[in-house]
Structure 1
Amino acid sequence: MRRLLLILWLLAVSDGLRAEQTVLHLVADRWPPFNDQRLPGDGLMVQLSREALQRAGYSIRYTELPWARALRGVRLGEYDILVGAWHSLERESFGLFSDAVLDNRLRLLQRQGETVRFSSLDDLRPYRIAVVRGYSYGAAFDEHPALQRVAVRDFPTGLRMLLAGRVDLAVEDEWVARLHLAGELREQAANLAFVPGTLSEKPLFLLASRKHPQHRQIIAAFNQALAAMRVDGSYATLLQRHGLSEPVPLPEDH
């Protein structure tokens, strides 16, 4: 029995040492408050991911790139993990998703004074909607044959096009939208309004490249560490440190 316990301990130590010697290259676009090298911890999603992976024994390198380039790099195995990915079947073909890390509430924005209302995606058919190139907003939205999706480089670009009348709506996570409207776009915030209602609620994941030979072990170790952070309170502490809390239902804007 002692010999068996010693062997098991040595195997565990060996696995831990291998993890400690592995540097994982994380990549994402600038998407405050989730990913942003200008923010503490590089943003909430990056800091949660880094903390959990470091607990699992990995070293972390983080790079910010345009989303389409980051997504392509993970698909090709140039980067190990995509931070803050929404789920799609197409992404499953080249990556392994973690457990959900955070939740998104997707909202539509319109110009102040407009009266767009919707109860289904079909109601949005008359409107040109700015979407970030490479983002997945869920299969129903992405694949709806009648929606007028206008691809843009990033959300601020979409808002500027909205203000200029080049599109009718923009879609974004509510936390992200409010941060932009309180920051770099605060002078234009009075000219914009949320469309009443929620487009969808979607969890955010890590996506490990299937090109990495240890992608299954990495995601399993991350999931275990993330669950431990929820239990010991460090997950909630990081949310509070970034000025956020778990999403709760909002009244509709009028």
Structure 2
Amino acid sequence: MPFAVIQFVFLFTLFASVVQADTLKLTSLRWPPYSDSELKNSGASVAVVRAALEVMGHDLEVTFFPWPRAVRTAMAEPSYQGYFPEYWYETEDFIFSNAIGHGPLGFLENRQRPVPWFSLEDLQAFRLGVVQDYVNTPELDALIAAGQINTETVVSDSINILMVAHRRVDLAVIDPNVFHFLMDHDRALTELKPTVQMNPRLLTTKQLFVALRNTPEGRRWTDIINQGLLKIDVERIMAEHGIR
């Protein structure tokens, strides 16, 4: 093959690969060790999604907001195709990728006032701390919505830890991985280690997803992410970023 033709083929292939590469823009929140701009690779969930996109020849751009704003921005701003990490829930606005990992969900309690419970109905005698716009479990959220469980709504897991420590609430819904990370790295919380602990009974273990707009473009990115997830070791990436 003449050199000029080889050069043309090389340049055409290079140009085509550049044209095909695209960038997915998502919103997220400060939720270490799963997502945080200050973490290695921006956290476990971000590392998984980025790896899934890179293996498919695409890039990821993440903007971090407080959680309510992350969800609203993903819904309202056309430049974003979705948000993550999210638990699955019923919605017509978003569709969900295949699982990008998983995380436990439980209750934080005050060491001096442990709460024995065996069913969610047992919690009706207590006051729960929940984070604004977080999805918990369908059963718990239904009881909260029906007014059968008293709750105090806050804007972050860190505030919930303080609420439990100072007995403003009896329990707080939290991922144990998030709790342990915050207690080890947040100076304002480290001194509270002797005061709070995870309740020994887990609420559940939940899968994590990317929530993408329920549009043709959102469905296209969902397919790309799902194909990429099949080509990477999600559990290994999560473990490398501190997910137990």
Is 2:212 the partner of 1:208? yes
**Partner amino acid, structure 1, of 2:99:** A
Match of 1:188 in 2: 192
Answer 1 or 2: higher relative contact order, Cα 8 Å, separation at least 6.
2
Query: What letter is aligned with 1:164?
Result: H
**C-alpha spacing 1:15/1:228, structure 2 compared with 1 (3 Å):** farther
Measure the CA separation in 2 of the matches of 1:127 and 1:16: 58
Query: 1:224: which partner in 2?
Result: 227
Distance of 1:244 and 1:85 partners within structure 2: 16
- Tell me if structure 2 keeps the 8 A contact 1:87–1:138: no
CA distance in 2, matches of 1:143, 1:16: 48
Q: Distance in 1 between matches of 2:99 and 2:107?
A: 23
Structure 1 residues 125, 52: closer, same or farther in 2, change over 3 A? same
Q: How far apart are 1:58 and its partner, in Å?
A: 2.2
CA distance in 2, matches of 1:98, 1:206: 5
Matches within 5 A, 1:40-59: 40-59=40-59
Q: Is the 8 A contact 1:105 1:202 kept in 2?
A: yes
Aligned to 1:7: none
Native 8 Å contact 2:176 2:198 kept in 1 = no
Offset, 1:189: 1.0
Matches within 5 A, 1:63-212: 63-78=63-78, 79-89=80-90, 92-144=91-143, 145=146, 146-184=148-186, 185-211=189-215
Q: Give ranges in structure 2 of 5+ residues lacking alignment.
A: 1-13
Task: Output the CA distance in 1 between the equivalents of 2:70 and 2:242.
Answer: 27
The 1:67/1:171 distance shift into structure 2, 3 A limit, reads same
Query: Residue 60 and residue 83 in structure 1: after superposition, are their counterparts in 2 closer, same or farther (change >3 A)?
Result: same
- Give distance in 2, aligned partners of 1:100 and 1:15: 31
Letter in 2 for 1:52: A
Partners of 1:47 and 1:65 lie apart in 2 by 18
Letter aligned with residue 106 of structure 2: R
- Which blocks of at least 5 consecutive residues in structure 1 are unaligned? 1-12, 246-254
- Give the aligned CA root-mean-square deviation in angstroms: 2.0
User: Which residue does the alignment assign to 1:252?
Assistant: none
CA offsets 1:15-38 (integer angstroms, 9 cap, x no match): 976651x32211111000000111
Q: Is the 8 A contact 1:109 1:193 kept in 2?
A: yes
Task: Answer with 133-142 or 161-170: which moved more.
Answer: 161-170
How many residues get paired?
Answer: 225
Deviation at 1:42, TM superposition (A): 0.4
Distance 2:15 2:206 in 1: 37
TM-superposed deviation, 1:75: 2.2
